Amino acid sequence: MKPFSNKGQPESVGFRYEKKYLIEGLSAKDVISALKRHPCVFRVLYPARYVNNIYLDTPLLEDYFSNVNGNRLRKKVRVRWYHDLYRQVDDAVLEFKKKEGEVGSKEQYPFPPFASDTSLTEGHFRRLVESSNLPPDVKYCLRGLEFAIMNRYCRWYFATPGEEFRATVDADLEFVHLGKLHNRFVKSHKERKYLVLEIKYAVDNDRGFHRVSSALPFRITRSSKYIAGVEHVYV
């Protein structure tokens, strides 16, 4: 990802496909081995790291239901950071992830520092947003949202030699309930039965995807870690 300007201007990721495989009964090592044996020669792109997210939604979970119902226009809003889950976070990114049918894009903004600890409440979060350098329209959008869930997972990164196709493998998924007034992070769910493989590529590379998918011993599925998290934590 390119560095942000000091004026808080967004970075955008253009429309691309994200094909997902929900895989049960195999370890991350098994899936990584399948990628490394792939005829498209997937190679390690970045070192593995933990990904942490706070998902935001309306009080009626409109984004959750839009995704569950498979609406053509869908979105997710999250604050993302890496490595340790509970720490002083000064490198978080606010992301608006939008989908139109099968393709998606995202817009990213630097998010103000905060502590991922018991001081993390909705009130504190809202004060952070209002005092930040985020653009006025972004602040306005966030005013209608509240905490939904927090999640994390370990992610491995791969790409073909020309990086036309990228792959990520996500394992050790954990979903954490977030309260409005206080958080001790005791209500959580750890998912060890499945992991998620994603193949990501630009729209103009769609013709070449068959060459990638035909050599993978997995079946494409609909999968959303946000949907899974809501259902594990609230249902």
The C-alpha atoms of residue 10 and residue 4 are separated, in whole angstroms, by 7
Task: Give the closest residue to 234 by CA, choosing from 155, 152, 151.
Answer: 151
pLDDT at 216: 96
Confirm whether 4 is domain-assigned. Answer: no
* Contact present, 107 and 138 (Cβ < 8 Å): no
On whether residue 1 sits in a domain, the answer given is no
Residues in the chain: 235
Please indicate, yes or no, if residue 218 is contained in any of the structural domains. Answer: yes
Does 173 fall in a domain? yes
Would residue 74 count as lying in a domain? yes
Specify the pLDDT at position 186.
Answer: 80
Q: Which are the contacts of 79, defined by CB distance < 8 A and separation ≥ 6?
A: 53, 54, 56, 92, 93, 94, 95, 111
Tokens of 58: 């309306």
Q: Is residue 3 part of a domain?
A: no
The answer to whether position 226 is within a domain reads yes
Q: What is the extent of the structural domain holding 212?
A: 11-234
Q: Name the domain count of the chain.
A: 1
pLDDT at 14: 78
Which residues 6+ apart lie within 8 Å of 164 measured at CB? Answer: 201, 202, 205, 208
Residues with pLDDT less than 70, the chain: 1-10, 12, 235
Query: Is residue 75 one of the residues assigned to a domain?
Result: yes
Confidence at residue 180, expressed as pLDDT on a 0 to 100 scale: 87
Q: What's the CATH code of the domain at 71?
A: 3.20.100.30
